[in-house]
Amino acid sequence: MILVNKETKVIVQGATGKMGASHTKRMLDYGTKIVAGVTPGKGGETIHGVPVYDTVAEAVRATGADCSVSFVPPYLALDGGCEAIEAGVGLVCVITEGIPPNDTAKLVAEAKRKGTKLIGPNCPGIISPGNSLIGILPGNIFKPGNIGMISRSGTLTYEIALALTENGQGQSTCVGIGGDPVKGMGNLELLTMFNEDPGTELIVLIGEIGGTAEEEAAAFIKKNIRKPVVAYIAGQTAPPGKRMGHAGAVIEGGKGTAESKMKAFKEVGIEVAVTPIEVVELVNKAAKQLVRK
């Protein structure tokens, strides 16, 4: 597994809000080690038995937390993220959607400057099944195993993870990186982490139309990744020339289309599923080849 495990100590920023409170309970029920909530002006209160602090710095000093998950409103997300980074939190996961791209760019730059791992924004979070759930992922559909997952799409993460689980194929860690064009950790960093993780034997990469992240990932995999990779690209039936609604679905100069991404993967020997359920078939095929080796 990568990024999170049973020992990860988590702060929930915005824990007393409607979304924060609801998902704090869900994470606690899963077994995640939630050690503190943070809401300015609510210090001294508790949420589901978890102490609430006014600042991240106070929470870190009191608990030794090393991860923060943020449910704060979009207009406060930059300040909240920078506060967590400044407090020395090593992993920051921003669930919030609708953050202005300029704010996200500033947050990404600050995370890089401080060496903080940033996941999101506009993402479902991270789960190492059976160990820790960070964010809004439905924990019951995941199963411990050896498949690492990286996904731009929250709903496709759920659909494909459930299909794998029902087929008996468990996951080591699943990371929803979000579909915004500006974001924290992306395919290349996570592919490297999974490649070095002894608990991951196979990687599933779920992409979408728009941008060139998948084309870049294909070239990177060819040069750097020794483990088998199975891919799926959402948006294969998108009408040519029609503007799509997702924030990252920008297609320019012939790049960013489903065809361009699928071609890039196939050219480096990566099998690409035509439908989400076909990912299971390709994973089974890759797993059998691993056994033969």
Q: Which amino acid is at 215?
A: E
Cis peptide before 121 (omega within 30 of 0): yes
d(CA 19, CA 26): 11
Catalytic-labelled residue, pool 25, 106, 222, 246:
246
Cβ atoms 270, 232 nearer than 8 A: no
Q: Which amino acid is at 281?
A: E
3-state SS string for 48-60: CCEEEECCHHHHH
Query: Across the strands, what pairs with 69?
Result: 12, 93
DSSP 184: S
Cβ atoms 177, 152 nearer than 8 A: yes
CB atoms within 10 A of CB 285: 13
d(CA 162, CA 173): 14
Cα-based distances in Å from 265 to 63, 187, 205, 273, 279: 44, 13, 11, 11, 14
Clarify whether 48 is annotated catalytic: no
Query: Across the strands, what pairs with 134?
Result: 126
Closest alpha carbon to 187 in 205, 208, 211, 209: 205
What residues act catalytically?
246
